[in-house]
Amino acid sequence: MEQEKVHVRLLILAGVAFLWMAAVFGRLTYLQLFRHSDYTAQAMRQQRRTIDIFPKRGAIYDRNMRPLAMSVPVQSAFAVPSEVKDKDMAARLLAGVLQMPQDAIREKLEAEGSFVWVKRKLSQEEEVAVRGLNLRGIYFFEENKRYYPERDMAAHVLGFVDVDEHGLGGLEYEYDGLIRGHEQKIVVMKDAKQRWFDGGQAQQDHGASIVLTLDERLQYIAETELQAVIEKFHAPAGSVIIQDPNTGAILALANWPKYNPNSTPVVDKESRMDRAVSAIYEPGSTFKLVTLAAALDQGLIRPDEVFNCQNGSIVLAGHRIHDHKRYGDLTVADILANSSDVGAIEIALKLGAPKFDDYIHAFGFGLPTGVDLPGESRGLVLRLEHWGSFGIGSISMGQQIGVTPLQMINAVSAIANGGLLFKPHVVEEMRQGNRELALDGPSAPAEPKRIIRPETAAVLRQMMEGVILHGTGKAARLDGWTAAGKTGTAQKIDPNTKRYSPTKVIASFVGFAPINNPAVTILVSIDSPEGWPHEGGTVAAPAFKRIAEQALSYLDVPRDVPVSPKLVQAAYQADHRVEAVQSFDDTPPDLSGELLAAPGGEKPDAGASQVPRVTVAVDEGGDIVVPDFKGKTMREVTDMCFRLGLDPVLIGSSLAIQQLPAAGSKVRRGVKVTVQFGAATGNAGKPH
């Protein structure tokens, strides 16, 4: 009996076990066959996140491979809202360290999704602060952030990007598709300890890198001198361009106002405008170069041909035009040197409107230059049938026509190089890893166009030298190099009266050096300088001189005229006077021998034995140790100074023989370091 009870119990137990196992296997079968996809998806939602990522943008370099724009790894903070228990406290703490509105953060934390960005691309300080809060549900993910190591340098050329690395200005916009590469998705996963990690990232297609024609050193010179002129004359805007006339390459392009692309959200649109390629202005007397070039090229005038300037007054189509001086008989060369409006009008009348119009378009006015930068303006050139009877007179002296600074310098570069109009460009090459990419689109090279005969260009270069030697551009005369150029003072239209303003002008100077083998063409354009006088010869010509002398020294361009000890290249400091005045031999300077260029005038003569005045900033107590420049070339000195953040002032030629402050001195960033160059002789310790 007992045995039967045992068997019954075993059967019952087996039956229960069977039913239990059947239920388990049935449940497992149901879960595996019918609910597998649902639970897998739920697990994936809990453990994995898919994030859109943007590959590392290609770098942008200057022509010497110095980085101007790069992408650096940074951390971004994101939240899983369901894991944040006390959302009020988390929002309050995060708002304090991220400098964000508390309500905005709380709204993010209350989102229904399983992933939300708290703040993208944190600074190092923000990352440390957020990690220090140790908040549950707040995680980090590595992204790339665009960084401009030189801050506002060349900002209008480089442009900027948004938080998703899309280019929004300059080259960043123009070549966004190439620099940015292709967007991808990445999976991040969470382990059992709630730690997020990279769940596997596909090979990113990094963007192409760009090598520019810009030179960081020349860009620094252009921006520094532009700022100096802006501050001296309290002007609201201006531009400086340095171009290689033999290739069309832009070596420097500076605008004012400028901005820091590292902080674009707080920059106004006015500061982001690339005035050098977008701003249209009446060129004024610089356009007389086109007038004379056309007439010379047609064989209608000679440099020594005399025109009667009618005592500085001419009537054209019922309008009386006055010169700034009452000129009588002037040769063509003197018409250019003295910038006679009456003389330019008479030459244009001899040329005729149809031919004049042909040359205007041949020089590239009224047409885009094709530069590989966005936002280029084509200028404003009236159709020939709309000139009217007075149009030829206005246009011949640079009125009733609108140009951009880039168009103007490109036209003058054609005169400098012998009559060839090049396509200006800022991109030298593009690279994808170690592979060089073919330049196409806006960066594709183009054959130069001949617009005037070489003989015409040669004659005009000599006439332009006269502008500097004895004309309106005396303040642009270089120490050690020949130079040619033209001043311009164009009245602006008063928006209230719709007439030319008696006080607001565009003061400009455009020229090149040396004359026989030009290495650089330089344009300086200053909008609405204050004070009097405010003509191009007073405002822009001295800036041309300072920029040209520094640029030619840096480029090691051989001097083609003797350097007179009476001419002080340190006139660079004339507009930047600082605390102390010292001579190289520490003797009191002979101030009666100070030879600073007066605006628009010649330098006074002085005996060769006089000691030049050298103005330097004595700024001890800094953290930069001044190196020993003795025996270095100008280019080596310039390179060392810029690398350390010092401001070089170079005097003489050959090798460095003396410097101030002395080697080993500790100074602050931005201090001027004056270096004298010459032959290493036994008495090289004192200037000659």
CATH label of the domain that carries residue 612: 3.30.10.20
Question: Percentage of residues in the chain with pLDDT exceeding 90?
Answer: 49
Q: Do 540 and 585 sit in the same domain of this protein?
A: no
pLDDT, tens only, 343-381 = 999 999 999 999 999 999 999 999 999 999 999 999 999
* CATH number, residue 322: 3.40.710.10
**Span of 183-192, 316-325, 572-581 with lowest mean pLDDT:** 572-581
Regarding predicted confidence, which is higher, 464 or 181? 464
Asked which of 554, 580, 596 is the last residue of a domain, the reply is 554
Q: Which pLDDT band holds residue 232 (cuts at 50, 70, 90)?
A: very high
Instruction: Confirm whether 575 is domain-assigned.
Output: yes
Kindly state the average pLDDT of the residues 139-150.
88
Are the C-beta atoms of residues 324 and 472 closer than 8 Å to each other? no
Q: Which residue has the higher pLDDT, 310 or 669?
A: 310
* In a shared domain, residues 461 and 601: no
Contacts of 588 (CB under 8 A, 6+ apart): none
Q: 563 lies in a domain? A: no
Q: What string of DSSP letters covers 331-356?
A: EHHHHHHTT-HHHHHHHHHHH-HHHH
Residue 332 has pLDDT above 70, yes or no: yes
Q: Does some domain include residue 686?
A: no
CB neighbour class for 81 (10 Å; exposed up to 12, middle 13-18, buried from 19): middle
Strand partners of residue 506: 490, 527
pLDDT at 421 over 50: yes
Residues 60 and 8 in one domain: no
Q: Identity (one letter) of the amino acid at 195?
A: R
- The answer, yes or no, to whether residue 610 has pLDDT greater than 60, is no
Q: What is the pLDDT of residue 618?
A: 36
More confident residue, 358 or 40: 358
Its domain, for residue 24, covers: 2-34
Per mean pLDDT, which of 180-189, 232-241, 433-442, 490-499 is the most reliable? 232-241
DSSP, residue by residue, 617-679: ---EEEEEEPP--TT--HHHHHHHHHHHT-EEEEEESSEEEEEESPTT-EE-TT-EEEEEEE-
**Burial bucket for residue 686 (CB in 10 Å: 0-12, 13-18, 19+):** middle
pTM of the predicted structure, to 2 decimals: 0.75
Number of domains in the chain: 4
DSSP 543-596: HHHHHHHHHHHHTTPPP-S---TTS-GGGGGGGS--SEE--TTSSPP-GGG--P
User: What is the pLDDT confidence band of residue 189, given thresholds at 50, 70 and 90?
Assistant: low
> Would 27 be classed as within a structural domain?
yes
pLDDT at 29: 78
pLDDT of residue 192: 52
Q: Please check whether residues 23 and 69 belong to one and the same domain.
A: no
Say whether pLDDT at 226 is over 90: yes
Helical (H) or strand (E) element with 67: strand 67-79
Are residues 145 and 197 located together in one domain of the fold? yes
Nearest of 618, 613, 608, 578 to residue 596 by alpha carbon: 613
pLDDT over 70, % of the chain? 82
DSSP-assigned letter for residue 598: P
Is pLDDT above 90 for 660? no
| Nearest CA-CA partner of 364 in 415, 399, 318 | 415
Residues 617 and 481 in one domain: no
What pLDDT was estimated at residue 198?
Answer: 52
Angle between helices 405-416 and 454-470 (to 10 degrees): 110
Give dist(CA 496, CA 186) in Å, integer: 58
User: What mean pLDDT is predicted for residues 321-337?
Assistant: 92
Bigger pLDDT: 557 vs 605: 557
**Is there a domain that residue 507 lies in?**
yes
CA nearest neighbour of 464 among 452, 480, 491, 482: 482
User: pLDDT value at position 616?
Assistant: 34
The pLDDT value recorded for residue 519 is 97
Question: Does the structure show a pLDDT above 90 at 550?
Answer: yes
- Asked if residue 136 and residue 17 are part of one domain, the reply reads no
- Tell me: pLDDT of 582 over 60: no
Structure tokens at 635: 């280019």
The predicted structure's pLDDT at residue 50: 61
Q: Evaluate whether residue 45 is within a structural domain.
A: no
The full DSSP string for 458-506 is HHHHHHHHHHHHHSTTGGG--SSS--EEEEEEEEEEPTTTSSEEEEEEE
Q: Does residue 339 share a domain with residue 351?
A: yes
User: What pLDDT score was predicted for residue 7?
Assistant: 74
Whether residues 478 and 599 fall in one domain: no
User: What pLDDT was estimated at residue 564?
Assistant: 54
What's the whole-number mean pLDDT along residues 174-185? 79
Q: Which of 212, 228, 252 is the last residue of a domain?
A: 212
**Mean per-residue pLDDT over the chain, rounded:** 83
Q: Does the residue 562 lie in any domain?
A: no
Q: Are residues 329 and 450 in the same domain?
A: yes
CATH code, domain carrying 114: 3.90.1310.10
Token readout for 164 is 């998703």
Rounded Cα gap, residues 210 and 550, in angstroms? 27
158: confidence class by pLDDT, cuts 50, 70, 90 = very high
CB 73 within 8 Å of CB 122: no
Query: Quick one: the chain helix, strand, coil %, rounded to 5?
Result: 35, 25, 40
Residue 49: band (very low, low, confident or very high) from pLDDT cuts 50, 70, 90: low
* pLDDT score, position 635: 75
Statement to judge: residues 30 and 80 lie in one domain: no
pLDDT at residue 482 is higher than 70: yes
Whether residues 484 and 576 fall in one domain: no
Cα separation, 411 vs 359, whole angstroms: 11
What would the pLDDT profile of 276-319 be if each residue is shown by its tens digit? Answer: 999 999 999 999 999 999 999 999 999 999 999 988 888 887 78
Q: Is the pLDDT of residue 614 over 60?
A: no
Structure tokens at 491: 């009245």
Q: Domain for residue 9, yes or no?
A: yes
pLDDT in tens, 508-548: 999 999 999 999 999 999 999 998 888 999 999 999 999 99
Question: What is the model's pLDDT at position 23?
Answer: 80
